[in-house]
Amino acid sequence: MTTPAFEKATFAGGCFWCMVKPFDQYDGIESVLSGYTGGHKENPTYEEVCSETTGHYEAVQITFNPDIFPYEKIVEIFWQQIDPTDPGGQFFDRGDSYRTAIFYHSDEQKAIAEESKRQLDQSGRFTKPVATQILPAKPFYPAEEYHQDYYKKNPAHYNRYSVGSGRVRFIEEHWGNNEMNKQNEQLRQKLTPMQYHVTQEDGTEPPFHNEYYEHTEEGIYVDIVSGKPLFSSLDKFDHGCGWPSFTKPIVEEEVIEKKDFSHFMIRTEVRSKEADSHLGHVFNDGPVQTGGLRYCINSAALRFVAKEDLEKEGYSAYKKLFE
- Which residue numbers are catalytic? 15, 296
CB–CB of 122/81 below 8 Å? Answer: no
Q: What single string gives the DSSP state of each residue in 287-300?
A: -GGGTS-EEEE-GG
Strand order in the sheet with 100-104: 133-136, 100-104, 7-13, 57-64, 29-37, 140-142
With the CA atoms of 7, 66, 112 and 26 taken in that order, what torsion angle do they form, in degrees rounded to the nearest 10? Answer: -100
Other Cβ atoms within 10 Å of 44 Cβ, number: 22
Other Cβ atoms within 10 Å of 295 Cβ, number: 23
Would strands 236-237 and 245-246 be described as parallel, antiparallel, or unpaired? antiparallel
Would strands 100-104 and 133-136 be described as parallel, antiparallel, or unpaired? parallel
Backbone angles phi, psi at 234, to 5 degrees: -65, -20
Q: What single string gives the DSSP state of each residue in 132-168?
A: -EEEE---EEEPPGGGTTHHHHSHHHHHHHHHHTTHH
| 3-class SS of residue 78 | helix
